[in-house]
Structure 1
Amino acid sequence: MTLSLRVVMLCIVLTFSCANTAIAQQSNNASITKSEAAERARKAENGRVLKVEQTSSKYRVKVLKKSGRVVTVDVDKRSGKVKTSKDKD
């Protein structure tokens, strides 16, 4: 009886420790989604999103402004910070 109780307790402890590790990894790798990046770029440039490309560290979003100019905006995957690149025609 004592041995089976120890085995059950060990299984419970291992289950919780694995769950905590998975949760910690998810929070460390938290990143914004492609649609969130598009929305942030759209708001920053006050235009219409044409295209969203993904790299390992950022999203590159092309936005059509009301003036007719196309601008490229980089959105950091982790922080969600928007950085505007140079204007393109």
Structure 2
Amino acid sequence: MTSSLRVAVVCLMLASSNIAPAMALQGSGSDISKSEAAERARAAANGRVLKVEKTSKNYRVKVLKKSGRVVSVDVDKRSGKVKTSKDKD
């Protein structure tokens, strides 16, 4: 095998070995699950989860508080950040 061919083979091997970690990093930015969104909303609002709806960017979680009020909590699909909406009467 010539030296230039060896170099090319080694370069190809190194390049292909870096593909898997790069693909794994892309996959780590996936959405959180519906159940994870429900748990985060439950903890943030300190209540019982009634319903979870999936929107384009968020999960909208309806939570029943101990006071009897229902609050709507938005949980970002990507980051998992929680934002409480206005209380409903």
Band the TM-score falls in, shorter-chain normalisation: 0.7 to 0.9
Give every structure 1 segment of 4 or more consecutive aligned residues whose post-TM-superposition deviation is greater than 3 Å. 5-15
Match of 1:55 in 2: 55
Counting matched residue pairs gives 86
CA distance in 2 between counterparts of 1:20 and 1:38 reads 31
CA distance in 2 between counterparts of 1:37 and 1:65 reads 17
CA distance in 2 between counterparts of 1:73 and 1:88 reads 11
Match of 2:67 in 1: 67
**Cα displacement (A) at 1:79:** 1.9
**Cα displacement (A) at 1:13:** 3.5
Gaps of 5+ in 1: none
Question: Can you list the C-alpha shifts for 1:15-53, whole angstroms capped at 9, x where unaligned?
Answer: 4232122112113x2332211110111011111101111
Q: What SS does structure 2 have at the residue aligned with 1:84?
A: strand
Normalised TM-score (structure 2): 0.76
Normalised TM-score (structure 1): 0.76
Match of 1:82 in 2: 82
Q: What SS does structure 1 have at the residue aligned with 2:18?
A: helix
Query: Cα RMSD between the aligned structures?
Result: 2.2
